[in-house]
Amino acid sequence: MDRMLVVVFDNENKAYDGKKALLQLDDEGSISVYGYAVLAKDADGKATIKQGDDVGPIGTLFGTSLGSLVGLLGGPVGLAAGAAAGALGGAAADLDNARIGSDFIDDVNKTLSPNRVALVAEVEEEWTTPVDTQMEAIGGKVFRRALSDATDTVNKEDVNAMKADLAKMKEEHSKAHTERQAKLQEKINQLDSKIQGWMQKDKDRTEAVERQAKTKLQILKEKATAPRSKAG
């Protein structure tokens, strides 16, 4: 099962020990790690991605569920860690792209208080014991959530309702007087733009999920053909 993991530690040293343990589990075949990042909050609550090149085998965070989750946990202010922060771009508040519920973000942020550090990772795991045992031994608190399907992005009933409204407006427009037509046309354009925006968002997210799935498959193939230890 594909999941997001967030493990909160008291300090950076423990977080990096947690990262090494996570990658060791990956090397042993207990889990598959698709990407990871270490996120620290300072005394003022501002977040920084530590080690700018440390974003795991999935590569850039931009446009990924992992990148969106990091952005949501860090917030739009304070994400400054070289290339990794730049890669986040506009992902810093995209709950839809993170593919997890807002309650998960709230639960993590209650523990990820100032001066604490989080290991954030996208993984595939069949059972929770390996990760939990390793992280708890280091002093980490583990949060996990399965990734939702891409089809959850847009409420199709809402879209269908808006399309029905649009059809009625167009029908009314065809029968209205010239002065009224102008006002109706403005509303038609606004509603149509909103519908198109929602549909484009759904398409973009579906395509992003498909790209990530292909990347994950490639990662698994590379591990199968040329396994190597990444921990250290």
Whether residues 205 and 229 fall in one domain:
yes
Whether residues 231 and 119 fall in one domain:
no
Whether residues 144 and 175 fall in one domain:
no
Whether residues 137 and 30 fall in one domain:
yes
- Per the prediction, the chain carries an average pLDDT of 76
Checking if the pLDDT of 81 tops 90, the result is no
In this structure, of 23-32, 54-63, 181-190, the range with the lowest mean pLDDT score is: 54-63
Whether residues 228 and 117 fall in one domain:
no
**Mean of pLDDT values over 65-83:** 59
- With contact defined as beta carbons under 8 Å apart, do 58 and 123 qualify? no
Q: How far is CA 97 from CA 11, 20, 202, in A?
A: 28, 27, 10
Tell me the sheet residues that pair with 124: 2, 32
Whether residues 122 and 83 fall in one domain:
yes
Q: Which range marks the domain in which residue 177 is found? A: 152-232
What is the model's pTM? Answer: 0.64
Return the pLDDT at 116: 94
Return the pLDDT at 63: 56
Q: pLDDT-derived band of residue 88, with 50, 70 and 90 as boundaries? A: very low
Whether residues 131 and 223 fall in one domain:
no
Instruction: Quote the percentage of the chain above a pLDDT of 90.
Output: 21
- With contact defined as beta carbons under 8 Å apart, do 134 and 33 qualify? no
Return the pLDDT at 46: 83
> Which one, of 16, 8, 91, 73, lies nearest residue 50 by Cα?
16
Whether residues 7 and 95 fall in one domain:
yes
Domain end marker among 148, 183, 207: 148
Return the pLDDT at 156: 67
Handedness of CA 152, 158, 159, 160 (dihedral sign): positive
Domain end marker among 148, 177, 204: 148
**Mean of pLDDT values over 81-91:** 37
Domain end marker among 127, 148, 169: 148
pLDDT tens, residue by residue, 203-224: 777 777 777 778 778 877 877 7
Return the pLDDT at 4: 87
Checking if the pLDDT of 97 tops 80, the result is no
- Overall domain count for the chain: 2
Instruction: Quote the percentage of the chain above a pLDDT of 70.
Output: 75
Dist. CA 133–CA 204, nearest whole Å: 37
Checking if the pLDDT of 12 tops 90, the result is yes
pLDDT tens, residue by residue, 131-186: 999 999 999 999 988 876 544 445 566 677 778 878 888 888 888 888 778 888 88
Element (H, E) at 200: helix 178-225
- With contact defined as beta carbons under 8 Å apart, do 147 and 100 qualify? yes
Return the pLDDT at 162: 76
Whether residues 137 and 31 fall in one domain:
yes
Q: How far is CA 204 from CA 22, 134, 209, 216, in A?
A: 31, 37, 9, 18
Q: pLDDT-derived band of residue 87, with 50, 70 and 90 as boundaries? A: very low
Coil, helix or strand for 120?
strand
Residue type, 69: L
